[in-house]
Structure 1
Amino acid sequence: MQVTEILNEGLKRGYTLVIPAADLDAKVNEKLKEAQPDVEMKGFRKGKVPMALLKKQFGQKVIGEAIQETIDGGLGKHFEDSGDRPALQPDIQMTNQDWKEGDDVEVTVAYEALPEIPEVDLKALALEKLIAKADDASVDEALTNLAGTVKNYEDRKAGSKAKKDDQITIDFAGKVDGELFDGGTAEDFPLVLGSGSFIPGFEDQLIGAKVGDDVAVTVTFPAEYQAANLAGKEAIFDCTVKAVKSEIAAVVDDELAKKFGAEDLAGLKGQIAERLEAEYAGAARAVQKRALLDALDGLVSFELPPSLLEAEAGQIAHQLWHEDNPDVEGHDHPEIETTDEHKKLAERRVRLGLLLADIGQKAKLEVSDAEMTQAIMTQARQYPGQERQFFEFVQQNQQMQQQLRAPLFEDKVVDYVFELATVSEKTVTKEDLEKAVEALEEM
């Protein structure tokens, strides 16, 4: 195959590729000869079909495969010899559209090469790591919030009328057209009024009831109710109120701690402190990572592929537009124009993305299969009952795999740079750490 350079401007590259007809014919014959032993055709024994007949029967299909394989092989050798790495998939166009068998094949190839990334002295980087400890006040606040999730109730004074948010205990029997129906009867059922646990209107009719009251609750099942035999029908529930209770604050003690799997209150406080400090560490890492990216962004400058900049700016504009228009879930919306702000942010992201990728490649960092599996499983938990289908979808979707792999790889590179850089620790309060995180969102 003959390769001729026709464009070399900045990162833009262009070539013409010519596959001589003789080379293509030899490739076709080679592929047909490889397949010949397995071909069966009426009138011939398996593997004994003449080459001329094979070429007549399968030649056109094999020619297409041979052309593609030759181009792929030629480009692979070109990239190996030149050292070029295309920013995006090369654009390949056949120029002799009137091509017929026996002619040379002529194609043009255009792409943007990734730039040479300058070396960065990572050991010269000076970074600050914020350290925040979980103080007693923060632990107590978290403990109080945790206790608030525990619902405890005690009997109200005799004769008290049930009100919203009270828990009542009832026996009930529901009838439709005077007949009891499956699932419509229960005894000693605890129901929090206003929780929306029952059919709309059911709980409202029990507000004001007292212990010992018999209340006939009349409701209509929704038209889309899951039980078709009840959908849209009126029902009467004969209810007997057996208890009326009000919510009380949970007592923060060893018994509460045991409800959350701790041996005692001290153990629960220790668990809360560990969780808080893990959250603080995650926030501090985000602050340190932003400082690292800012430092790297100021250290390097190199030409960026226009195609990557355009794609990134478009993606940023699209994402921000959807954040401003949360009611629009699909992509049926007007074309979104990219602004100078989008382009500026795209330049930073592309520059840092290429730099981090280069650092990771030179350090031979890789995302392991186990790490990918863990990431997929974490994502799959967002689709309860469909975890297996999601896992299989990711396995068959290269783009989705890349979306999951990219942040894992970036984190590996960031951790690698943290290890090489000079990092000083600074102890701060929770409030100081929160301000540092808020500052990130304002940038």
Structure 2
Amino acid sequence: MQVTETLNDGLKRSYKITVSAAELDAKVDEKLAEAQPQVEMKGFRKGKVPMALLRKQFGKRLLGEAMQETIDGAMNAHFEECGDRPALQPDVKVTNPDWKEGDDVEVEMSYEALPEIPEPALKEIALEKLVAKAGESEIDDALGKLAENAQSFAKRRKGSKAKDGDQVVIDFVGKVDGEPFEGGAAEDYPLVLGSQSFIPGFEDQLLGAKEGEEVTVTVSFPADYGAENLKGKEATFDCTIKEVRAPKPAEIDDELAKQFGAEDLAALKAQIAERLEDEYSGAARAVMKRALLDKLDETVAFDVPPSLLEAEAKQIAHQLWHEDNPDVQGHDHPEIEPTDEHLTLAERRVRLGLLLAEIGRKAEIEVSDNEMTQAVMNQARQYPGQEQQFFEFVRQNQALQQQIRAPIFEDKVVDYILELAEVTEKEVSKEELEKAVEALDEE
């Protein structure tokens, strides 16, 4: 076998691999010899079929296998010898398409090599970790929201007009073209005005209504309404107001705490403080991670493979285009050409991705089966009733598995770096932390 370099330009590599006919024949003989003891053929005892007959019977089929294995072996030997790691799967093609048995095989292998990635001095990286504590005002705000969610409704005195936020108990019958339609009627239905739980415009027409009144509401079903027979149709609802009730927030006391599984109000406050501080900690980590990536980007420079850069830039351009054109759901649109801004962002992402992958490789960081299973379970919860189908879909989809694994791996590498870096804590207010998080979106 002969391997000849034909291109070495930056990260681009190309090689001509020639596999002689003699090598292929030897490989075929090797495979026939391995199979011979198990072969049975009429007129011969098991394992005693002559090699010449085996070659005549199976030679052509094994020749294809031998060719593939020999080329794969040449590629693997090349990468072991030169130390290159291809950025993507190498492009391999036979360059003598008129090949016939007895000829040498000529193959061209092209790829982009991953660059030499400098090893940053992780212990010299200095970072600031923002620490925010849950104050009394934040805890009280959270308690107030819990009390609102636990609110009840008390009947207003007769003659009171229904206000926004009130609950009205109604009987109603819906009609289209004067005829009642299926599913359009109910009795003693408690409707909170302003909840937007009914068709747009329905609740507004009940504002000011009083107990005992009859109100006819006229609305139009949305064009994308779920029931085909009602899409875009105008409908009337004959409503009878049976009660008007005012919202009554729950008392912030031990009873409220017990509704939310706490022993008493003090325990509920402690739970809220812990939850808030977990949220603050997550936000602070996002800020510190961005600062870490910025420092790595500033201190580590190397060329990135053009194919990875181009693919990432196209993906960024495509994603941003859809964000600017939310009405276009599919991908039936003109090709979107990346701008210089997209290319700059793509270069940063690719470089940092390769750098983190290299740090993780050298530190022998891996994503465990348990971590993958937990991540898949978390995503499966988004499809209630179809969890098993989602698990099966992930199992058969290597690209999706990698998509799930990648952020887990990245976070583990970031945690590894943060353990080595010099991290100092800085106590800040909730507002200061929020400003720091908002600044992430502005960059």
**Does the TM-score normalized on the shorter chain lie above 0.5?**
yes
Distance in 1 separating the partners of 2:151 and 2:342: 49
Q: Deviations over 1:268-320 (max 9, x none)?
A: 22111111111111111111111111111221222222222222222222222
Q: 1:171 to 1:300 in 2, by over 3 A?
A: closer
Shift of 1:368: 0.9
TM-aligned CA deviation for residue 147 of structure 1: 2.6
Deviates more, 1:72-81 or 1:34-43: 34-43
Q: Distance in 2 between matches of 1:228 and 1:340?
A: 47
C-alpha separation between the residues in 2 aligned to 1:332 and 1:196? 34
Once the two structures are overlaid, the 10-residue window that deviates more, 159-168 or 138-147, is 159-168
Counterpart residue number, 1:440: 440
Aligned length: 443
* Distance across 2 between alignment mates of 1:46 and 1:231: 74
Match in the other structure for 1:403: 403
**1:126 maps to what in 2?**
126
Query: Alpha-carbon deviation of 1:241?
Result: 5.6
Task: Please tell me the residue identity of whatever aligns with 2:284.
Answer: A
Identity among equivalent pairs (%): 72
Specify whether residues 8 and 137 from structure 1 end up closer, same or farther in structure 2 by C-alpha distance, changes over 3 A only.
same
- C-alpha displacement at 1:139, in angstroms? 1.5
Aligned-residue Cα RMSD (Å) equals 3.9
Aligned-pair CA distance for 1:437: 1.4
2:165 & 2:45 partners in 1: Cα distance? Answer: 85
Query: Which residue in the other structure is 1:85 paired with?
Result: 85
**Using the alignment, how far apart are the partners of 2:396 and 2:3 within structure 1?**
35
Whole-angstrom CA distance in 2 between matches of 1:362 and 1:290: 22
Which residue pairs with 2:348 in the alignment? 348
**Rounded Cα–Cα distance in structure 2 between residues aligned with 1:141 and 1:253:** 14
Aligned to 2:276: 276
* C-alpha distance 208-442 of structure 1, shift in aligned 2 (>3 A): closer
Matches within 5 A, 1:252-291: 252-291=252-291
Q: Which residue of 2 aligns with 1:420?
A: 420
1:222/1:110 CA distance change after superposition, 3 Å: closer
Alignment of 1:184-263 (within 5 A): 189-192=189-192, 211=211, 242-263=242-263
- For residues 20-64 of structure 1, what are the alpha-carbon distances to aligned partners after superposition, in whole Å with 9 as ceiling and x for unaligned? 112222323444555566677889888787766665565444333
Q: CA deviation at 1:197?
A: 5.6
Cα separation, partners in 2 of 1:317 and 1:187, compared to 1, 3 Å: closer
Change (3 A) 1:48 1:389: farther
Question: Kindly tell me: are residues 216 and 337 of structure 1, through their superposed partners in 2, closer, same or farther at Cα, counting changes over 3 Å?
Answer: closer
Q: CA deviation at 1:202?
A: 8.2
Offset, 1:113:
1.1
CA distance in 2, matches of 1:229, 1:115: 61
Q: Give the direction of change, closer, same or farther, for the CA distance of 1:374–1:216 in structure 2 (3 Å limit).
A: same
Indicate the larger mover: 98-107 or 326-335: 326-335
* CA distance 1:186–1:310, shift in 2 (3 Å): closer
The farther-off stretch of 40-49 and 94-103 is 40-49
The TM-score normalised by the length of structure 2 is 0.85
Partner in structure 1 of residue 111 of structure 2 = 111
CA distance 1:330–1:63, change in 2 (3 Å): farther
Superposed CA offset, 1:220-245 (max 9, x none): 99999999999999999998765331
Go from structure 1 to structure 2 and tell me whether the alpha carbon gap of 1:367 and 1:225 turns closer, same or farther (over 3 Å shift): closer
Counterpart Cα distance in 2 of 1:110 and 1:250: 70
Which whole-Å CA distance do the structure 2 matches of 1:228 and 1:346 have between them? 45
Counterpart position of 1:292: 292
Structure-2 residue corresponding to 1:144: 144
String of CA shifts for 1:80-100, please: whole Å, max 9, x gaps: 121110011111111001011
Deviation at 1:256, TM superposition (A): 2.1
Q: What does 1:157-196 correspond to in 2, within 5 Å?
A: 157-160=157-160, 162=162, 165-169=165-169, 189-192=189-192
List, as ranges, runs of 4+ consecutive aligned residues in structure 1 with deviation greater than 6 Å.
37-50, 171-176, 180-187, 198-209, 213-240
2: distance between equivalents of 1:22 and 1:2? Answer: 13
Tell me the distance in 2 between the aligned counterparts of 1:161 and 1:44. Answer: 102
What is residue 306 of structure 2 aligned with on the other side? Answer: 306
| Distance (Å, rounded) in 1 between the aligned partners of 2:315 and 2:125 | 31
Q: Deviations over 1:204-258 (max 9, x none)?
A: 8877765567889999999999999999999999987653312233332222222
User: Which stretch shows the higher mean deviation, 340-349 or 42-51?
Assistant: 42-51
Give runs of aligned pairs for residues 376-387 of structure 1, distance below 5 A: 376-387=376-387
Structure-1-length-normalised TM-score = 0.85
Call closer, same or farther: CA 1:123–1:96 in 2, change over 3 Å. same
**Cα distance in 2 between the residues matched to 1:232 and 1:412:** 51
SS at match of 2:423: strand
User: CA distance change for structure 1 residues 18 and 157 in 2, over 3 Å: closer, same or farther?
Assistant: same
Q: Which amino acid aligns with 2:139?
A: V
SS class of match (1:312): helix
| Structure 1, unpaired ranges of 5+ | none
